Structure 1
Amino acid sequence: MRDTQTLLSSPLSLAAAALGLTFATPAAWANDAAERLTERLEPLESYQATFEQQILDGSGQRLQSARGEMWLSRPGMLRWEVEAPYTQVVVSDGNDVYLYDPDLEQVTVQPMDDRVTHTPALLLSGSINDLTASYDVVYEQESGEDVFTLIPNSADTLFEELSMAFDNDTLTELWMMDSTGQKTLIRFSDITQNGSIDRGLFNFEIPEGTDVIREEL
């Protein structure tokens, strides 16, 4: 498990020198790393967890923290509810993505284009073949956890690096860095993989009186 101090000392690189970590095995070649990641993600049909999220600026100062719950089901379905310190809901039904802010009484609707699906949570709900084709994958093992770092092949993504940590076959953490140097760490708990999820969670009904902003391709 990485702590916040580790994140502050590194731009989310998994280089041992930068993080000061001792790895049980050396980094694998890219094709082997992609195969290992596929082995972890391909059986994942659904995922439910609570989460804690921290956002840090380029100097390591904490900008924001939040907690909530998420549900994910392949292909392309996601519900992400931020419960504190504010309320926000993101829902994908596989065709459109709804971002609902109840305080503003506003919902933004976006089609599921490539850029939207490259956001971290939706990326997990997509095609594994697309994932490993769109990113270079590096694998390392730290204290029994399998850590995969994804580096985009193109510039049209929302992050420079995205790393996933697995305890055995269970996804426990995501952390990423964007082009501004901003870092985000998401830790999952109370995890259920491949459990039964009510499909109604992925249908979003726009509340009456809510302003709707539709973003087209």
Structure 2
Amino acid sequence: MKKWIAAVLIAACAGVASADGLESLENFVKTVKSGRADFTQVVTSPPKEGQAARVKTSTGSFEFQRPSKFRFLYKKPFEQSIVADGQTLWLYDVDLNQVTSRKQSAVLGSTPAALIAAAPNLQALQADFTLLAAPDKDGLQWVSATPKAKDGQLQTVRVGFKTDGKATELAALEILDSFGQRSVMTFAKVEVNPTLAADLFQFKPPAGADVVKQ
């Protein structure tokens, strides 16, 4: 689960107005170099035989600095920190007092984090994803991204944008993994291109924490 949570790291903010989801995504990648937002994440696991589907809701906040630096803080119902410093991806579970570190280049790959926070342009994204403009739904413009690599845990990602005729704001992210688990993330209090302190993306394991390198 922790690896899957790390794979769904994302960032949210705004770009310029566009005609469809693909253009919105392209403008976002080109113009948004940093961002900050709150998030709500609802994860629905497929039902087991004779049981109802399991639904879990989490809330938190995140910041990112392109390329490839982000901090993702889960606050409720359990505290977790996921920090990418550009070289290493750190996952800190507060309840377990355990830190997991992995080489960032080996972790991101065809993930939503790469899709949103790392790529410099649409062409770079198209090297790892098949991108298609999807029909408008729930008042949002959508783009569908399917990883070209077939050996990962991610099946598809859908990104939703709000438009008001002048600007386009990233509003939602829908993720389906290869186990049938679906995650829907919505964003609030979005800040576009804020100035973020460099040490925001530095992580030092807390004293006494068990550190596992993978």
Instruction: Give me the TM-score of the superposition, normalised by structure 2.
Output: 0.79
After superposition, the C-alpha distances for 1:84-128 in whole angstroms (9 at most, x for unaligned) are 001000000000000001211110000012443433235311113
- Give how far 1:33 is off: 6.6
**What TM-score, normalized to structure 1?**
0.78
| Other-structure match for 2:74 | 82
Displacement of 1:41 in angstroms is 2.1
Inter-partner Cα distance in structure 2 for 1:148 and 1:83: 29
User: Could you tell me how far 1:155 is from its partner in structure 2?
Assistant: 0.7
Asked if structure 2 preserves the Cα contact closer than 8 Å seen for 1:92 and 1:98, the reply is yes
Aligned to 1:97: 89
- Asked whether the 8 Å contact 2:41–2:183 carries over to 1, the reply is yes
Distance in 1 of aligned mates of 2:106 and 2:213: 17
**Map of 1:47-58 to 2, 5 A cutoff?**
47-58=35-46
Structure 2 residue runs of 5 or longer lacking an equivalent are: 1-18
Moved more, 71-80 or 58-67: 58-67
2:187 aligned partner? 188
Which structure shows the higher strand fraction?
A: 2
Task: Verify the 8 A CA contact 1:118 1:158 in the aligned structure 2.
Answer: no
Q: Which residue is 2:111 aligned to?
A: 119
Q: Output the CA distance in 2 between the equivalents of 1:142 and 1:177.
A: 17
2:79 partner amino acid? T
Q: Deviations over 1:57-78 (max 9, x none)?
A: 2248233210000101101001
- C-alpha contact (below 8 Å) 2:140/2:161 kept by paired residues: yes
- In structure 2, distance between residues paired with 1:160 and 1:147: 17
- Size of the aligned set, in residue pairs, is 185
SS in structure 2 at match of 1:155: coil
Identity %: 28
Where in structure 2 are the equivalents of 1:140-151 lying within 5 Å? 140-142=135-137, 144-151=139-146
Mark the CA change 1:203 to 1:122 in structure 2 (over 3 Å): closer, same or farther: farther
Q: Which runs of 5+ in 1 are unaligned?
A: 1-27
1:67 is aligned, of 52, 55, 59, to: 59
Distance 2:56 2:162 in 1: 26
Larger mean Cα displacement after TM superposition, 71-80 or 116-125: 116-125
Structure 1 outlier segments of 4+, above 3 Å: 32-36
> What are the Cα deviations for residues 5-40 of structure 1, in whole angstroms up to 9, with x where unaligned?
xxxxxxxxxxxxxxxxxxxxxxx9xxx975553123
What is the aligned partner in structure 2 of residue 212 from structure 1?
A: 211
Question: Residue 42 of structure 1 aligns with which residue?
Answer: 30
1:119-138 equivalent positions in 2, closer than 5 A: 119-127=111-119, 128=121, 129-138=123-132
**What do you get for the CA RMSD once the two structures are aligned?**
2.1
